[in-house]
C-alpha cells in the first residue's frame, strides 16, 4: 500500500505507467491493492475482472472522480452518474452520435481538417498535439451545436482551454493559479451557453444535434432539463472528446513516421480513394470511410499501443466478492486497460506496432480503448471517423518529418509523444 497518506501516488504519476503496473502485476498477479490519491484501491488487470466491474456487476460499482474535477466539468455531466438520470442522458448523447447522425458530419469534418492542415505546410515546426486539439475541439463543437457562430466558437475555445488547464492542476482558490482562473472561465462558459440556448429557443426548430436533443428532452412528468444540466453535459462531452482524440491522432502520426513502409501503404490506400474522387475534388463518402481497411487497422493498433486511457476508476457501493477476494465497500476499483492491451497472452509481441494483428478480431473483453458496459464511450464511432478523415487528408496532401528527440513520452494527463510531437510538414507535390 506504499507510504502513509501518499501511498503509491508518486510512483504511479512519476514513472512510465507500463513499468508501475507491470512490476505490480509480475509480483502480485492480476489483482492487487494499492493506495492512490488518498484512497485505497484495487487494481484489476484481467479481461474477466474488467468485465465483472464494468458490465456484469456494473450496478455494484459507481463512477467516481475527485470532487474538484466534478465541480470543474459540472456535477450533472452524465459520466458522474448511475441509474435513471444516466440512462436518459446517455440516450440523448448516443442518438446525437449515432452512425446515422455522424454520416452527415463528413463534409464538415473534411472542411475542418483541410483548413487546419493548410496552415501546417511550409516547413515550419508545428506542435502536432496542439493542432490536433484544435481539430478535435472543432469537431466536438460540430457534433454538439451543428453550425455555431464563429464568435461563440472562439469564446468557448478560449475559456474551455483555461478550464482544461485548471482541471489538470492542483485545486486551490488562490487567485492567479490555473485552478482559480479555470473556475472563472467555467462560469463564463455557462453564460455563453445560456446565450446560445436562448437564441436556439427563439428559432423553435427541433435540431438533431446534441443541443437539440438536450433541449427537446422531457421526462415522464414532462419536466425539461435545467440550463445547468444542459451546460454540464455540453462541457462534459467536449471534455471527453478533445484531448482523447487529439492524443491518439498524435500517436498515429508518430507510429506512421516510425514505419515509413507502412506510411507508404496507407498513402497508397488513401490516394486510390482520392483518385476516385476526381483527385480529391469530390468529398469523401460514408461508404469510402467504411472501406479503408489498412488505415482502420492502423487506428485500432494505435489505440491499443498508446492506450491513452490507461485505466478507469469506479467505487464499490457495497462489499463485493470476486474470485475469493473481498473488495471492501468504499474502495476504488481500477480496471487496467493498458495492462490488458499489453499482455502477450492476448496480443503477442505487444510492444511491436503491428496493425495486421487486427486482421483477426481480438478475444472478447481484451480490447477496451473505449471502455465497456453502461459507461463505454458513446463517441467511439465519431472519434474513429474523424481520425480516418484527418489521416486521409494528411497523407494525401502532405509529407512530414518529426523534429528533435523522437522517443520520450509526456503525461498531460494522457500520454503523448514528448513536446506534443514537433513536426515539419510540406505539401506532397513540392520538394
Ligand atoms: C480516441 C478518442 C476517445 C477515446 C480513447 C475515448 C475513450 C473513452 C472511454 C475509455 C470511456 C469510458 C470511461 C469509463 O468507463 O470510465 C469514454 C466515455 C465517454 N466518452 Fe469517449 N473516448 C474518445 C472520444 C470521444 C468522443 C469524440 C466523444 C464525444 C463526441 C466522447 C464522449 C464520451 C462520453 C460522453 C463518455 C461518458 C459516457 C458515460 O459515462 O456514459 N468520447 N470514452
The predicted pLDDT at position 14 comes to 67
Please name which of 258, 197, 228 lies closest in space to residue 71, comparing C-alpha atoms: 228
Q: Which atom of ligand 1 sits closest to the CA of residue 368?
A: 10
The predicted pLDDT at position 19 comes to 78
The predicted pLDDT at position 430 comes to 43
The predicted pLDDT at position 20 comes to 78
Query: Does the C-beta of 378 come closer than 6 Å to ligand 1?
Result: yes
Contact in structure between 355 and 300 (CB atoms under 8 Å): yes
The predicted pLDDT at position 15 comes to 67
Q: What is the pLDDT of residues 29-61, one digit of tens each?
A: 889 998 877 788 999 999 999 999 999 999 999
Could you tell me whether strands 409-411 and 31-36 are parallel, antiparallel, or unpaired per DSSP bridges? Answer: unpaired
Contact in structure between 337 and 368 (CB atoms under 8 Å): yes
Nearest residue CA, atom 21 of ligand 1?
Answer: 377
Q: Which of 79, 303, 376, 379 to mutate to test the pocket of ligand 1 (most atoms within 8 A of CB)?
A: 379
The predicted pLDDT at position 187 comes to 95
The predicted pLDDT at position 431 comes to 37
Q: Which atom of ligand 1 sits closest to the CA of residue 89?
A: 41
The predicted pLDDT at position 152 comes to 96
Q: Which atom of ligand 1 sits closest to the CA of residue 313?
A: 16
Query: Does the C-beta of 241 come closer than 6 Å to ligand 1?
Result: yes
pTM (2 decimals)? 0.95
114-123 LR contacts (CB < 8 Å, sep 24+): 114/393, 114/397, 117/393, 117/394, 117/397, 117/398, 117/425, 120/398, 120/425, 121/397, 121/398, 121/425, 121/426, 121/427, 122/425, 122/426, 123/424, 123/425, 123/426
**Is 377 annotated as ligand-binding?**
yes
Which grid cell is 92? 440523448
Domain boundaries, the chain: 9-146+207-427
If one looks up domain 9-146+207-427 in CATH, what number appears? 1.10.630.10
The predicted pLDDT at position 240 comes to 95
Q: Which parts of the chain sit beneath pLDDT 70? A: 4-6, 10, 13-15, 17, 204, 430-431
Q: Which of 92, 112, 244 to mutate to test the pocket of ligand 1 (most atoms within 8 A of CB)?
A: 244
Amino acid at each position: 500500500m506504499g507510504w502513509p497518506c501518499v501511498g503509491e501516488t508518486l510512483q504511479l504519476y512519476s514513472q512510465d505507467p507500463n513499468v508501475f503496473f507491470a512490476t505490480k502485476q509480475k509480483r502480485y498477479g492480476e489483482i492487487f491493492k494499492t493506495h492512490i490519491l488518498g484512497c485505497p484501491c484495487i487494481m484489476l488487470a484481467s479481461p474477466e475482472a474488467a468485465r465483472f466491474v464494468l458490465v456484469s456487476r456494473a450496478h455494484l460499482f459507481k463512477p467516481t472522480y475527485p470532487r474538484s474535477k466534478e465541480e470543474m466539468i459540472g456535477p450533472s455531466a452524465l459520466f458522474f452518474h448511475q441509474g435513471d438520470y444516466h440512462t436518459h442522458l446517455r440516450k440523448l448523447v448516443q442518438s446525437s452520435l449515432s452512425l446515422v447522425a455522424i454520416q452527415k458530419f463528413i463534409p464538415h469534418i473534411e472542411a475542418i481538417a483541410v483548413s487546419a492542415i493548410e496552415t501546417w505546410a511550409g516547413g515550419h515546426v508545428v506542435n502536432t498535439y496542439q493542432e490536433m486539439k484544435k481539430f478535435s475541439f472543432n469537431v466536438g463543437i460540430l457534433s454538439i451545436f451543428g453550425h455555431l457562430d464563429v464568435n461563440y466558437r472562439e469564446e468557448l475555445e478560449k475559456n474551455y482551454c483555461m478550464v482544461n488547464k485548471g482541471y489538470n492542476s492542483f485545486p486551490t482558490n488562490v487567485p492567479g493559479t490555473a485552478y482559480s482562473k479555470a473556475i472563472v472561465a467555467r462560469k463564463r462558459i455557462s453564460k455563453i451557453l445560456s446565450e446560445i440556448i436562448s437564441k436556439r429557443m427563439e428559432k423553435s426548430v427541433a435540431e438533431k444535434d446534441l443541443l437539440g436533443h438536450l433541449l427537446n428532452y422531457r421526462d415522464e412528468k414532462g419536466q425539461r432539463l435545467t440550463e445547468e444540466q444542459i451546460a454540464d453535459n455540453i462541457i462534459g462531452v467536449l471534455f471527453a472528446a478533445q484531448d482523447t482524440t487529439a492524443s491518439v491522432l498524435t500517436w498515429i502520426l508518430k507510429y506512421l513516421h516510425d514505419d515509413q513502409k507502412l506510411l507508404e501503404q496507407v498513402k497508397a490506400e488513401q490516394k486510390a480513394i482520392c483518385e476516385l474522387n476526381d483527385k480529391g475534388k469530390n468529398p469523401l463518402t460514408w461508404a469510402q470511410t467504411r472501406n479503408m481497411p489498412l488505415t482502420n487497422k492502423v487506428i485500432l493498433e494505435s489505440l491499443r499501443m498508446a492506450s491513452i486511457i490507461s485505466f478507469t476508476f469506479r467505487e464499490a457501493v457495497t462489499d463485493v466478492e470476486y474470485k475469493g477476494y473481498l473488495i471492501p465497500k468504499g474502495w476504488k476499483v481500477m480496471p487496467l486497460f493498458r495492462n490488458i492491451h499489453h499482455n502477450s497472452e492476448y496480443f503477442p509481441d505487444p510492444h511491436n506496432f503491428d496493425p495486421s494483428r487486427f486482421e483477426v478480431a481480438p478475444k472478447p473483453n481484451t480490447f477496451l480503448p473505449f471502455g465497456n458496459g453502461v459507461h463505454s464511450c458513446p463517441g467511439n464511432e465519431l472519434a474513429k471517423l474523424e481520425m480516418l478523415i484527418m489521416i486521409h487528408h494528411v497523407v494525401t496532401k502532405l509529407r512530414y518529418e518529426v523534429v528533435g528527440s523522437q522517443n520520450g513520452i509526456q503525461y498531460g494527463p494522457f500520454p503523448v509523444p514528448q513536446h506534443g510531437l514537433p513536426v515539419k510538414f510540406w505539401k506532397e507535390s513540392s520538394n
